[in-house]
Structure 1
C-alpha cells in the first residue's frame, strides 16, 4: 500500500519538533512505513515512530529495569504504577479503561531486563486517552503503601482482628509467583536462560521468588521507581497512521515538560564466559501419591552471543529452523526417535529477547538418570550434522520458513505492531538503533550471499557456537513428592518465627495496617476522581464501519469458496472447513487426534519427515483445529474441523497438492509416529490446564 507524503509527515534530521530532535528518517519498505527516530532534548528520552497507513495505532512506554535481587521489585512495580496516578487518582484506572475504551490491546509486561506498557486503538481520541493515562501512571504514580501490600505481599491474621489467630502471607504477585514457580514448564523456561547468566541481572527471578518477595520494603519499591522510571531511561515506540508531529506535541505538553535529564545506569553487563559446562538441578512439587517416573525435563542451553548483530541473529534463526523447525529436522527427529523422553521440551529453540542469544534443546517426560544419554544424543547428533553439512533439502525449507515468518503480518490475538516492537527492542534496548534489528530483507540477502560464497558458513557457525562452546548448561527439572509439604512447613515455621518476634504493639500495628488496606480496597472512588479518567463519547467514534471485501464462488451443492482481497504481503491464507456435527460421539472424541495426525503424518512410501520438509518448503504452516458455535438466527450448533494453510502466492499450487495428498492419503500405519503425536497432544493439554487454572 503506497503512502502519500503530506506536509505534516515531512521531518528533517537535525531539526527540533516540540522539544524532540530528529535523529534519523528512513524508509522501511518491507513494513510499508517511514521510520522516525528522535531524542527528547531535555531528558534524553528516545522515541521511534513507524508511520504508515495502518489505522490500528500502538504506543509503548519501555524502561530498562534490571533486577539486583529476587524480590520481584520490577514485577510488583509494574502492577503498582497502574493503581492510580496524580492526574487520575483512582484505585484501578486500568479497569476503567477496559470498560470505557475501544482499545484493541491493553496490557503491561515484566521481562528479565525491561518493563513494557503497550496499548493500541483504531480511534485517535481513544489512542491519546490511553497514552495520557499510561504515561501519567509510569511517570507520576501515587505508589501508596496500601498498593505495595495489595500487589506485593502482606501479613494478616486468618481470622481478621484476632491476635490469637494464625498468620498468613497474601498478595497478588506473591500468590501469582507461588503458582508459577510450582509449574515444571515455568521452571524449565526460566532456568534455560537463568542458568547461563549467574553473574548478571538475568540470573535473578525478575517475577519474584516467593521466599524473597517479603524482603521488599516500601523504600525499596520507591527507590527502584525513582531510579528507573524516568524519561532519561525511557523509550517510546509508536506505530500507525497518526502524524508523527502530533505525537511529539502531545507528549511534550502532557507528560514530559516538567522533567530534566538524569544520568541513569541501567545497561545490562555481558556474562563472563565459562571454561566448562555446568549442571543445574531444580525440583517442582507433585502429589505424594504420584509416581515421579517420566515427569522430568532435561534441557541443554548454550550462550551464543549478542542479539544486536543482525546477521548472526538471522544466521542462528536459520540454524534453529534447520535443527528443530519441523518434524523432519535432524535434531528434533533424533531426540523423538531416541525414546529417551516423551517429546521435545517447549523451551527448545532460539531465544533472542535478551542481550545475548540463548539456544536450548531437550526433552520432557523423561527421568534424571537419562541426563548423560540425552546430552550424548544431542551432542552426537550435532556432530553428525556438522560432518554431513546442510544439504539443499534442509537449507531451502529453513530459509523459506524464516522469510515467511518475517514477511507475515502476524497478530495472534494482539496487534501486528507488537511484533515490531519486540524486534526493535532487541537492538534499541542495548544501544543500537531500533532499525538495525527491525530490518530483515537486507540481512537475508547478505546471509544468502554469505552461504553462496562459503558453503561451510552455517556448519562453522554450528561448530563454534555449539560443539566448541563451553558456556553450556544442562538443567534437570525433576518432580519432588515431598516439596509441597516441605515448603508449607517451612512457610509455617517462618510465619511463626515472625509472629514470635513481634511485640504486642507491632501486632496491633499490623492489624491497623490491614484495616487501612481493607478501608482502601472497600472505599469506592469518588465521582470527581472517576470523571477525571478520559472516556470516549459517541462523537469520537468513526461514522463508518470498515467493510472487509468478500466474494463467493460456488462449486456446486453446498460447496463454495469465500474470497477476501486484503493486503497480506503476497501471502495466501486458505481455510478448508468440514462439518463434523453428524458424527457419532465416540468418533467425535477422535477428532483432536485426527486433526493433528493429518497435519503430522507421512504418505504411502514417504516418511513423515520428508513430508514435513516439503510442507516447510512450500508453506508457512499447515494446521488444523476444531470449532463449534451457534448459527445466527437459528437454534442450531455447528461443529466443524478447520484446516488452515498459509503460503506465498507463488507456491500455492505445490502447497495445495501436498495438502490434498495428506487429506486424501495420509499414512497412519507408522504407529510410533502416532504415539509421538498423541503424547505431544497430551502434554500440551496438561500444560494448558495448569496455565488456565491460575
Structure 2
C-alpha cells in the first residue's frame, strides 16, 4: 500500500508513509520536529466537532472562553517566521497531476508467502462524493466475494491465493485498490491484463445489474445500522473530515447518503456503472502497478552499517555525551509529572458517576417453536436472528472441520441456487450472514463449557422473510461437492492467519497461551488457533487426496448440527417481525442424530515461541486466576486499568519501546499480560514479573485513584449498538451471568480502594510464578532470548 501510494502521488505529501519510516527517524532533528509542530498544530489549522445531547450555545461559549481565545492569544504571541520573514504556515496539500506508473517493484526481506501485488486507480477528488460512493459500491459488486465476477476471474486465472479490493478515501484524491495476496510466479505480470480484460467485458454489457443493486442494498443497511465499532460521535466526526478537510463547504457532505443512493438506483438502468468502469479503470490516466518481491537477506544490515559508520566517526567525548543523553532520557521517562502540571487537567470524580444505564430486558421464551431469547432492544428498523447450535455432537478431533464448515457455508451453491445467485440474494436481502463457532464458559467451573455453532444474520424489517428462509436454505441444502471453491476459501483463511500472526501476534499469543491452562483455550485452539492453522496447512498440502473426505465430512456435520433439538434462537426486532420470522420458516423442523461426543483433553503447558515473518515480538504471560481461589470482583478491572496505563505503559512502551502492552483478566479466570509490536522479549517478561511488586506498593493520590475508577466505569458503561448489546446479553445467558451480577460488578468498581488493589498483587505474583509464556515474533529476537521456550518456525515446520 505504501509503495502504491508513493507511485500514485510522487510529487505530493502522499508519497510519504503517514507515520514515517524507521530508516528516516535518525535523520530527523529536534528543530525540524518543532518547526513542523508549529506549522500544523495550530488553532487556525484545527477542526472541532461537537456531538451529543448538549446545549450548543453554552458549549461554544465555554470553548471560546476556556480554549479558543486563550490559545489564539498564546499562538499569536509565539508566532514563528520562516527564512524570508513570513509567518510559518501549514505546508499546502496539492493535487497530483495524473501519472502512470507501471511495473514498480520493491524487494523486501520477508517470507516467500508474503509476495503480493497491487493496482491503484485515482477516482477523482474528495469533493466528488457521489462518484466515490459509486466506486465503493461497484468494488463490492465485482470484488466483494469469491463469487463476484472480477474476483472469481482472478481466482480462476490462478494468479494468487486471494484477491481483494477496497476504496482508499478520506484523502484529497481517493483511489481504488485491487490487490493479490499469496502471489504465484507470474501473477503480477498477468494481473492488470486479467483485470482490464474482465472489466472491459463488464462495461460492454456483461455487468449483472442485480449484483450492483444488491451491493447498494447492503450499503444502505450498513448506513442505517451505523455499527462501525466505535461511538457514533467519533464515527461521524471522521466521516465529516473526509470532505471538510479539503473544502469548508463540504463539512456535512459525507454525513448524508440518502440522495446518493436514490440517484445511483435511478442511474443503475441508465448505464451509469458501466460508464464508471470505463472512466475510472479502462480509460484511467492516473494509475499505478506495484509488486512486492520477497528476497533473502538481513533486514537489519542497513542499520548495522549505519551504526558502525557512526561509531567509527566518534571521539571518546562523543561516547560520554551519548551515555549522558541516554541517562537524561531515562530520568525524564521515570520522573512523575509535576503536581502543578497534573492539576491543569480536567477530571471527573467518583461523585460524578451517575446511575447505571438502564438496559433493555431479555428473557427466554419457551413456548416458541424452539427455545428463544427474546430481546427488547431498539433496532432502527432492523431484525437480528442468531441461531446457537450445540457442538456436543462433534468429537474433539472434528472441531477443525466445524470451522471449515463455517468458512464455506454461504459460499457454495444449494439445491435451489448457484453460489453466485445465493451471493447476490444474501447481499441484497440480508444485512449480514456469517457462520462461526464460539465457546461460552462458566465463571466458577473451568470444565463447564457451552460450545456453540453460531449462525448470525440480520435484515431490514421488510426482508424478515428472507431472514428466516436464506439461512435455513444454506444450512439444510448446501451442496458441498465443489471442492475447488472450498479450497479457495481455505487458502484465503491460511493467508489471513499468517498475516494475523505477523501483524497482530499478541492476539494469537494470548489465545494459544490459554490452551496451556484453560479447557476453553484447548477448544479454541482446535477451532481457530495454532492447532487449526496446522490442520489447515496439512489439509491444503494433501488436498487432492483428501478433498472427497472433506466434502463428505462437511455434509455429515451439517446433518448432525442443524437441528431444532440442538438450537436456541436469539431474536431482536418488533413483535410483527417476530411473528413473520416464524411464519416464514424460522424453525428448521428437523431433529438431529447422534450422541454427545465432545470430550476436551486436559490443558498442557508448552511454553512456545513461534517464529513468524516480522521485525518485532508479541509476548503473553498468564494463568487461571481461579487456581489460587482468587474471587472475581470489579476491583480486578480497576487493577487492569492501573497496570495497563501506568506500570506497563511506562515500563514496556515508554522505556521498552513496544508499541503497546496491557493486562487483562476475565470473570472466567483468564489472567494475562501481553506486549504488542515489541522489540524486546526477555526485558518484557521481566517487566511482567515486576507487576505484582508494583501493585503491592500502589499508593496513588486520591484524585489519581478516582481517575482509575471513573475511567473503568466509563468503559463498563460504554453504549452499545443493538447488535453488540444483543451479543453481550446472549453471552451472559450462556455463561450463567445475570443482569443483577453485572450491576454488582459495577458497584464493586465504584467502591474499589487502593488497599483492595494492593490485595490483588498476590494472585498476580502466583500467576507469574507459574511462568506460562507464549510468544510470536522475530527469529533473531526469539533465538537470542534466555527464556526457556520451545522454538517453532510456525510457517515452515
Shared fold by TM > 0.5? yes
Residue 615 (structure 1) aligns with: 426
Out of 113, 121, 132, the position equivalent to 1:302 is 121
Superposed CA deviations along residues 554-585 of structure 1, whole A, max 9, x for unmatched, are 2469x422232333321222211112245311
Residue 394 (structure 2) aligns with: 583
Partners of 1:525 and 1:252 in 2: how far apart? Answer: 28
Asked if the contact 2:127–2:250 (Cα under 8 Å) also holds between the matched residues in 1, the reply is: no
Partners of 1:369 and 1:254 in 2: how far apart? Answer: 62
Residue 602 (structure 1) aligns with: 413
Distance 1:265 1:523, change over 3 A: closer
Distance 1:518 1:674, change over 3 A: same
Out of 363, 367, 382, the position equivalent to 2:199 is 382
| Higher mean displacement: 581-590 or 425-434 | 581-590
| Higher mean displacement: 460-469 or 235-244 | 235-244
Residue 426 (structure 1) aligns with: 242
Give the SS at the match of 1:625.
strand
Superposed CA deviations along residues 239-277 of structure 1, whole A, max 9, x for unmatched, are 211222232133223222221578734442111112x44
**Structure 1 position 655 matched with structure 2 position 467:** yes
**Structure 1 position 331 matched with structure 2 position 142:** no
Out of 84, 98, 101, the position equivalent to 1:273 is 98
What is the CA distance between 1:408 and its match in structure 2?
Answer: 1.6
Residue 732 (structure 2) aligns with: none
Give the SS at the match of 1:395.
helix
The total of aligned residue pairs comes to 491
What is the CA distance between 1:531 and its match in structure 2?
Answer: 5.4
Distance 1:286 1:470, change over 3 A: same
Residue 334 (structure 2) aligns with: 522
Residue 438 (structure 1) aligns with: 255
What is the CA distance between 1:193 and its match in structure 2?
Answer: 2.6
Partners of 2:396 and 2:237 in 1: how far apart? Answer: 45
Partners of 1:349 and 1:627 in 2: how far apart? Answer: 29
Residue 5 (structure 2) aligns with: 193
Structure with the bigger percentage of helix: 2
Structure with the bigger percentage of strand: 1
**Structure 1 position 548 matched with structure 2 position 360:** yes
**Structure 1 position 370 matched with structure 2 position 187:** yes
Residue 277 (structure 2) aligns with: 462
| Higher mean displacement: 665-674 or 189-198 | 189-198
Asked if the contact 1:298–1:364 (Cα under 8 Å) also holds between the matched residues in 2, the reply is: yes
Partners of 1:634 and 1:368 in 2: how far apart? Answer: 52
Asked if the contact 1:549–1:565 (Cα under 8 Å) also holds between the matched residues in 2, the reply is: yes
Residue 131 (structure 2) aligns with: 312
Residue 39 (structure 2) aligns with: 227
| Higher mean displacement: 309-318 or 365-374 | 365-374
- Higher RCO (CA 8 Å, separation ≥ 6 residues): 1
Residue 209 (structure 1) aligns with: 21
What is the CA distance between 1:360 and its match in structure 2?
Answer: 1.4
Partners of 1:678 and 1:519 in 2: how far apart? Answer: 51
What is the CA distance between 1:589 and its match in structure 2?
Answer: 2.2
Give the SS at the match of 2:300.
helix
Residues 506-517 of structure 1: pairs in structure 2 closer than 5 A = 506-517=318-329
Asked if the contact 1:194–1:204 (Cα under 8 Å) also holds between the matched residues in 2, the reply is: yes
Q: List runs of 5+ in structure 1 lacking aligned partners.
A: 1-188
Give the SS at the match of 1:195.
helix
Give the SS at the match of 1:326.
coil
**Structure 1 position 351 matched with structure 2 position 168:** yes
CA RMSD of aligned residues (A): 2.2
Asked if the contact 1:280–1:475 (Cα under 8 Å) also holds between the matched residues in 2, the reply is: yes
Residue 571 (structure 1) aligns with: 382
What is the CA distance between 1:300 and its match in structure 2?
Answer: 1.3
TM-score, structure 1 as length reference: 0.67
Residue 435 (structure 2) aligns with: 624
Residue 295 (structure 2) aligns with: 480
Distance 1:610 1:451, change over 3 A: closer
Superposed CA deviations along residues 405-440 of structure 1, whole A, max 9, x for unmatched, are 22222132x213332222211110001331112111
What is the CA distance between 1:626 and its match in structure 2?
Answer: 2.4
What is the CA distance between 1:335 and its match in structure 2?
Answer: 1.0
